[in-house]
Structure 1
Amino acid sequence: MKVIVFSANTSWYLYNFRRSTIQTFIDLGYKVVCFSPADDYSEKIKELGCIWQPLFMNNKSTNPLKDFMIVLQFIRLFSKYRPAYCFNFTVKNNIYGTWAAKLLRVKAINNVSGLGTAFIHNNMTSKIVKFLYKTSQPFASTVFCQNPDDYDTLLQHNLVPQDKLILLPGSGVDIDMFNPSLRKEKTEKFKFLFAGRILKDKGIIELIEAFNCISQRDFPCSLTLCGFASSDNISAIGEDKILEWERNSNIKWIGSSDDMPNVYALADCVVLPSYREGMPRSLLEAGAMGLPSITTDVPGCRNIIKNQYNGYICRVKDVTDLYNSMLTILKLTDDELLQLSVNSRKHVEQYYNESIVINEAVSAVNK
């Protein structure tokens, strides 16, 4: 039985974003082994029918010398399971997993789900990450990326050879699980939803400021924040700050959820004012649910949302523009909102069905 490895910087990521792909390979008769740090989702991974092995890593560390220990862990685990292929997700796994795969003749299939914080800021960390990509990705068998901007950046900086780079429609979305039929009846109070990690780079500070301005105008609306406050990220926001935001009685933080379809079902509009994305899962899931979204004119986000078609695009880091976009959607008629919803579902069905992504993963193995 051939062995396939899936690795990421959290078990949460593998379970929530790659569960269908993992299940597909199990159904095809592969032995699937997952490498990831231990968290609440590690046991859930094993329940899928695959093996889980802990991977010890500090997601907040930017010291490549300390992170080199990750390579040694990959070498040990590859030696134990002898996989034919390794699907890597997230930056450190893409880099260190590929070096280890090269040494043990494992075919590395990497996924650049977004160039992220390291590419937002032009600093020493950014230079190090680019260097590490440039010295690792030529050893990969295939490198997937999730939006045209990242595709161009990877090529322009010579980070990935063009013959190995493939553009995907994000991680895709299960359009049966996320379905407009699940949505609840609209209430008098309009419900905004932010779904994602509580990070500064997600534009959460600007969102809170914009919403507080709307609250001062006595519009009947609320804002739900759904996501975990991780300390393992340089742009993390502490729980104390989130609790401070909740002093506005119309802002509620519900933490992370294992039932996202039900979370979206209670919303009227998703807001993601991010600084940069790969292909944001929350916008895909919102679209599949028939929800319009407000987001920023940045890579990833602008590839999903078309202004005034399935939502609204605003300028990044611009509280006033975000406020105006939220105000605009609050003033729409029911018919105008319905048209945005219909367009949202149609757009995701046509371009972002997860079956497209799964088929590409299977094709990469069958090369």
Structure 2
Amino acid sequence: MRALRRLAHRVRPQVFHLFTLKCVLYGSLAAPRGEVQTIGAVTGMGHLFTTRSWRTWLLKTPVLIALRRAIKRSRTQLVFQNDADRDEFVAYKIVDNEHTAVIRGSGVDCERFKPRPGRRSQSHVKLLFCGRLIAEKGIREYLAATARLRKSGRTFESQIAGAPYPGNPSSLSDAEVEKLQSEGSHIFLGQHEDMAALFADSDIVVLPTYREGTPKALLEAAASGCIIVTTDIPGCHGIADPGVNGHLVPPKKIAPIVVALAKILDATPQERQRMGAESRRIAVERFSDREVNAKTLTLYRQPAQTPPPS
């Protein structure tokens, strides 16, 4: 906190733009009161809001209290990636509705993320899971669903881009990852740097996440022409249109993922190409970074609000 305050004093920024919930908390407490426009981007609700256990229950109340005080202190304007997350924060009385905005995702660079002409095979279908290897991202459901598909006789290649996250109690352990690698059913890529090339080389991207703001990985996958299978949650609505460029499935369920993937695997190559082209169209029309950047710059131009007395 002291380091953040020293930095703000030295730089004297016009805008404090804070990304992710933890940074919103710390940054709102450190921001100079009434001197800068403070914007907090809530990109997702995180483990605290998606997991029900006695540990998270004990931690949640003090975090909510701290968030209320921090946001009131600096008059932080919160930017959410979907209406459901915004409504939950308002219901918790963390922020007033008039101090919020909804911008769907961080946008996607449709020039960098794009299909590779002539790349996709007619028969060799590549599946990709990309995300942290934690329960909330749906990694366990993905592993179970692909195992059932193989047992049914369907053939495909499965790649997993991501790494365990020891800071989260629901993370896959290193031992679990090593066991899966030794079984040879999946190609583990770990933390992958060149996602544009990886998406361009994939046919179906699967993210059975429990809760999201608006997952950037799915926006990049759609822009790359990948078919999308993800969960029927507010953060993923509009990225996958059921039957058009993919399927939406209930969170925490394995069987619907199996059914959705089976439909795509059993489709003709021409039908899969059509669905991939629809993904590209959706990314360009709904989630281009140009539109998102313009909305964000509008927030930057708003005058800083004077916080109430402590």
TM-score normalised by structure 1 residue count: 0.76
Residue 306 of structure 2 corresponds to which residue in structure 1? none
Aligned partner (choices 267, 285, 289) of residue 354 of structure 1: 289
Equivalent position of 1:28 in the other structure = none
Residue in structure 1 matched with residue 260 of structure 2 by the alignment: 325
Tell me, which stretches of 5 or more residues in structure 1 are unaligned?
1-70
Kindly provide the amino acid, as one letter, of the partner of residue 64 in structure 2: K
Q: Secondary structure at the match of 1:304?
A: coil
Deviations 1:77-119 (A, max 9, x none): 2123222221101111101111111448332111000112211
Partner of 2:189: 254
- Aligned partners of 2:160, 2:117: CA distance in 1, in Å? 20
Q: Distance in 2 between matches of 1:118 and 1:156?
A: 16
1:175 to 110, 117, 129: 110
Q: Which amino acid aligns with 2:191?
A: S
Of 77, 80, 83, which aligns to 1:145?
Answer: 80
Q: Give the residue type in structure 1 aligned to 2:44.
A: G
Q: Once the 2 structures are TM-superposed, how far is the Cα of residue 124 of structure 1 from its aligned partner?
A: 2.3
**2:22 matched residue in structure 1:** 92
Q: Aligned partner of 1:199: which letter?
A: I
Q: Describe the superposition over 1:321-345 as per-residue Cα deviations: whole angstroms up to 9, x where unpaired.
A: 2111111211111232122112211
Confirm or deny: 8 A CA contact 2:123 2:269 kept in the other structure. no
Alignment check: 8 A CA contact 1:180 1:289 kept: yes
Please show how residues 68-147 of structure 1 align to structure 2 within 5 Å: 71-103=1-33, 105-122=35-52, 123-138=57-72, 139-147=74-82
Contact residue 127 and residue 204 of structure 2 kept, 8 A: yes
Choose 332-341 or 288-297, whichever is displaced more: 332-341
1:263 counterpart residue number: 198
Structure 2 equivalent of residue 186 of structure 1:
121
- In 1, the alpha carbon distance for the partners of 2:66 and 2:272 equals 46
Alignment of 1:1-367 (within 5 A): 71-103=1-33, 105-122=35-52, 123-138=57-72, 139-181=74-116, 184-186=119-121, 188-367=123-302
Q: How many residues align?
A: 297
CA distance in 1, matches of 2:219, 2:189: 20
Distance 1:304 1:154 in 2: 23
C-alpha displacement of 1:282: 1.3
Q: What is the one-letter code of the residue matched to 2:16?
A: C
- Opposite residue 101 of structure 1, the aligned amino acid is A
Q: How many Å apart are 1:192 and its aligned residue?
A: 0.6
Identical columns (%): 27
Letter in 2 for 1:145: F
Tell me, in whole angstroms, the C-alpha distance in 2 between the residues paired with 1:292 and 1:339. 9
CA contact (8 A) 1:273 1:316 kept: yes
Verify the 8 A CA contact 1:183 1:266 in the aligned structure 2.
no
Which string of whole-angstrom CA distances, capped at 9 and with x for unpartnered residues, describes residues 239-291 of structure 1?
22112112342301111222111101221100000111110111101110111
Conserved? CA contact 1:183–1:264, under 8 Å: no
Q: Which amino acid aligns with 1:133?
A: L
Q: Do the aligned partners of residues 336 and 177 (structure 1) sit closer, same or farther apart at CA in structure 2, a change above 3 Å counting?
A: same
Aligned to 1:6: none
Question: Relative to structure 1, is the Cα distance of residues 169 and 183 closer, same or farther in structure 2, using a 3 angstrom cutoff?
Answer: farther
- Separation (CA, whole Å) in 1 of partners of 2:288 and 2:134: 27
